[in-house]
Amino acid sequence: MVGLGGTLLLFLVLPFVALLLDGGPDSILRGLGCALTWPAMRLSLGTSLTSVGLVVLGGTPLAWWLARSRWRSARWLEILLQLPVVIPPAVGGIALLLAFGRRGLFGGVLERLGWSPAFSSIAVVMAQVFVSAPFYMQAAVQAFGRLDRNLLAVGRSLGASPPRLFFRVALPLARPWLIGGAAMTWARALGEFGATLMFAGNMTGKTQTLPLAIYTALELDIHTAQALSLLLVAFAFALLLFLRRFNRNLEVSRKTAMP
């Protein structure tokens, strides 16, 4: 048992160790100095946070509805919503082009309205939302599904309106899982590459996110690419760590608040 677990752990961690050993601190410094870095960093941060915001905003009510729906098709919908995880992101990008591209299903309508997502930062956000939403949805549907029905029933019997029930009972109880799901979604959005490249293109400052910058740098010089990758890894690690801390503090404060 320990051997199996240890093997997997080593397998997952070693590539990062190799990346770090091969690069070292000068490598990170060089990454910081690369012309592609800062525009990509800013864009990545902006678009991925926007994506998470949109996913949470739309995904929370959708998950709440899906988790409580007795409608059989709701289970099918849940599976449908997981599909973006399975298809290769580049195919996702093509699908987005076919739907929202200038010649796509809705592209013509959008363009007639004088707006086209092609080659814009909005396209980056669309690609990120598409590939990363399933992670939040999965967590949120499970979190709401796991809620103690009795608590909700008690709340209802005490006269709480459905919105009040949602905001004062369901949401606080599900919060740790929701935040965990949002963190996964954020990480996936930050690392998104294939769909972005296909759907949004590659333009410094506009659509070139950090993973695209890394791939572009790879064409130049593998060390710059490594340095940028280290930067991305360090950045993601810090944010995930922060979220975990934040989540734990929330739980501690709730437990102390509700003896």
Partner 1 sequence: MNRRKFFRMFLSIACLATPFLSAPARAAESGELTVYAAASLREVFQNIALIFEKQHPNLKVHFNFAGSQDLRVQIDQGAKVDVFASADWKHMKPLATEGLVVAPTVFARNLPVVVVPKDNPSKVATFVDLAKVKHLVVGAPEVPVGAYTENIFTAAEKLQGKVFAEKVRANVRSRELNVRQVLTKVAMGEGDAGIVYRTDALTMPDKVEIIEIPASINVVAEYPIAALQAAPHADLARDFVKLVLSKEGAKVFSAAGFGTAEAQAKK
**What is the distance between the alpha carbons of residues 208 and 237, in angstroms, rounded to a whole number?**
21
- Binding residue for partner 1, selected from 97, 129, 133, 173, defined by CB under 8 A: 97
**In the complex, minimum distance from the CB of residue 166 to partner 1, in angstroms, rounded to a whole number:** 33
- Rounded to 5 degrees, what angle do the CA atoms 50, 51, 54 make? 85
Coil, helix or strand for 87?
coil
Contacting range for partner 1; rule: CB under 8 A; set: 7-15, 142-150, 152-160, 197-205: 197-205
Instruction: Considering only residues 199 through 238, tell me which ones interact with partner 1, judged by CB under 8 A.
Output: 200-204, 207, 212, 215-220, 222
Instruction: Considering only residues 116 through 145, tell me which ones interact with partner 1, judged by CB under 8 A.
Output: 118-119
Residue 9, CB half-sphere, CA atoms under 13 Å: how many? 6
Query: For residues 135 and 193, which CB has a smaller minimum distance to partner 1 in the complex?
Result: 193
Query: For residues 185 and 208, which CB has a smaller minimum distance to partner 1 in the complex?
Result: 208
Query: For residues 42 and 103, which CB has a smaller minimum distance to partner 1 in the complex?
Result: 103
The answer to whether residue 102 forms part of the interface with partner 1 (CB under 8 A) is yes
Query: For residues 112 and 255, which CB has a smaller minimum distance to partner 1 in the complex?
Result: 112
Tell me the backbone φ, ψ of residue 198, rounded to 5 degrees: -70, -45
Structure tokens at 194: 């294939």
Helix (H) or strand (E) holding 256: helix 222-257
**What is the distance between the alpha carbons of residues 130 and 87, in angstroms, rounded to a whole number?**
11
Q: Would you give the distance in Å from CA 100 to the centre of its chain?
A: 21
Query: For residues 217 and 227, which CB has a smaller minimum distance to partner 1 in the complex?
Result: 217
**In the complex, minimum distance from the CB of residue 173 to partner 1, in angstroms, rounded to a whole number:** 26
The answer to whether residue 197 forms part of the interface with partner 1 (CB under 8 A) is yes
**In the complex, minimum distance from the CB of residue 213 to partner 1, in angstroms, rounded to a whole number:** 10
DSSP 189-220: HHH--HHHHHHT---TTTT--HHHHHHHHHHH
Binding site for partner 1 (CB under 8 A): 97-98, 101-103, 118-119, 197-198, 200-204, 207, 212, 215-220, 222
